[in-house]
Amino acid sequence: MNIEFIFIAIIVIGIAIFLLRHTAKTLKFKKNKKLETSKPIHIPEAETKLEIPVEPVSPPIPLAVPPAVVISFTDRLKKGLSRSRQEVWGKLSTLFSGGLDDEKIEALEELLYGADIGTATVAELMVEVHKKAKEGNLSEESFKAFLFDFLKAKMEPIQSKVDHALYHFNPKDRGLTKVIMVVGVNGAGKTTTIGKLATKLRSQGASVVVGACDTFRAAAVDQLQVWCDRAGATMIRAKEGSNPSGVGYDSLQAAINQNADYCILDTAGRLHTKENLMDELVKSKNVLKKLDPSAPQQILLVIDAITGQNALRQAEEFHKALDLTGLIFTKCDGSSKAGSAVSIVEQLKIPIAYIGVGETAEDLDVFRIDDYLKALLGM
């Protein structure tokens, strides 16, 4: 029993030794193989190098930038007067369709009164309308042509009085300071208009000093400062509540010292019915004469087109106190009463220097009779 056990044990030990030796050889072979394959493989260089063609990269195609659209003032004027044209003169087509009878002639008269061109002007027009209606040659086109000539004849002699130095700066006048005093009621748009006017004159190469004589409204002074900064104009301002006449005097003194081409004075808005406030404007005007006996060379009244015929009363009072040299007709784009310019010019014999139809500096320009009437009548 012991011999068999010993024999079996010897066999088991022998098998175990055999297996251990076989396993060791296998592991050694794998290790050597791994070491051999980890060596870098040398790849001989080709006798000729391959040249791979590289196509040039095209530069990016620039995006098409549309050219800036330049809108002429004539087009701005047509757009600005569209409300007056549509609400008043646009009704002519209905009146003239199917012939002009007595009832339609009466409706035409009412339309003309509503256009705010003035009662005296309408009365004269209706005399001619009745004559032409009897002749049977009055159509919408012929009436517009007749109306254009009639209104132009009324305005042209007065408009010819406008000083063209207001429109275009002449380099020959360099350093000859021209004083422009701007007046008007509250809300007419004086401050904005002065900013636009300063911008236009600066764009022509003129040097401009602006006096902020509206010392009671800090917001108006700040607004004017923004316009002057954009335009490159010098602005003279004082503490809130300062004497307006003193600010005007200091502004002109600064303009003279700088040899400025223009000195534009912004005055506080006031009701034309307040006599004491109107007297203050007269005082401001007279103070300027201490520095320049001919100053101010221009006194312009800013009129809001929305007020219509009420503007006539304003203009009368300002003209009586200050002897106005011209008018600036503003906010024509927001009113159907742009026709009131005709009656104001005709009755007061005061020309319109500028007309405004929007908020930007480009929306203020010289008042030209032909352009105005064509835009108003839709011709």
The 10s digit of each residue's pLDDT in 99-135 is: 778 888 898 888 888 888 888 889 999 998 888 888 8
216 vs 31 pLDDT, higher one: 216
Among 159, 194, 217, which residue terminates a domain?
A: 159
Q: Please report whether residue 126 resides in a domain.
A: yes
Q: For residues 198 and 294, state if they share a domain.
A: yes
Six-digit token string for 367? 């008042």
Among 159, 193, 224, which residue terminates a domain?
A: 159
pLDDT of residue 193: 93
Find the distance separating the first CA and the last CA of the chain, reported in whole Å: 140
pLDDT of residue 85: 74
284 vs 17 pLDDT, higher one: 284
pLDDT of residue 112: 86
Checking if the pLDDT of 217 tops 70, the result is yes
pLDDT band at 46 (very low <50, low <70, confident <90, very high): very low
Checking if the pLDDT of 312 tops 60, the result is yes
Q: Please report whether residue 30 resides in a domain.
A: no
Q: For residues 133 and 266, state if they share a domain.
A: no
The highest-confidence range among 14-23, 49-58, 186-195, by mean pLDDT, is: 186-195
Report pLDDT digits (tens) over 232-248: 999 999 888 789 999 99
Q: For residues 212 and 315, state if they share a domain.
A: yes
Strand 352-356 to 364-366 pairing: antiparallel
Checking if the pLDDT of 52 tops 80, the result is no
Distance, CA of 254 to CA of 177 (rounded, Å): 11
Q: Please report whether residue 317 resides in a domain.
A: yes
Q: Please report whether residue 80 resides in a domain.
A: yes
Q: Measured on CA atoms in the order 111, 117, 150, 125, is the torsion positive or negative?
A: positive
Q: For residues 237 and 334, state if they share a domain.
A: yes
pLDDT of residue 283: 94
| For range 236-262, the mean pLDDT | 93
Distance, CA of 180 to CA of 255 (rounded, Å): 12
Q: Note if the bond before 296 is cis, omega within 30 degrees.
A: yes
Q: For residues 148 and 174, state if they share a domain.
A: no
Q: For residues 207 and 313, state if they share a domain.
A: yes
Among 159, 192, 216, which residue terminates a domain?
A: 159
Number of domains in the chain: 2
Report pLDDT digits (tens) over 154-171: 999 999 888 877 778 889
Q: Spell out the residues 6+ positions from residue 169 whose beta carbon is closer than 8 angstroms to its own.
A: 201, 204, 205, 206, 261, 262
Checking if the pLDDT of 53 tops 70, the result is no
pTM: 0.76
Q: Please report whether residue 279 resides in a domain.
A: yes
pLDDT-wise least confident of 48-52, 115-119, 138-142, 201-205: 48-52
Q: Please give the residue range of the domain that contains residue 198.
A: 169-369
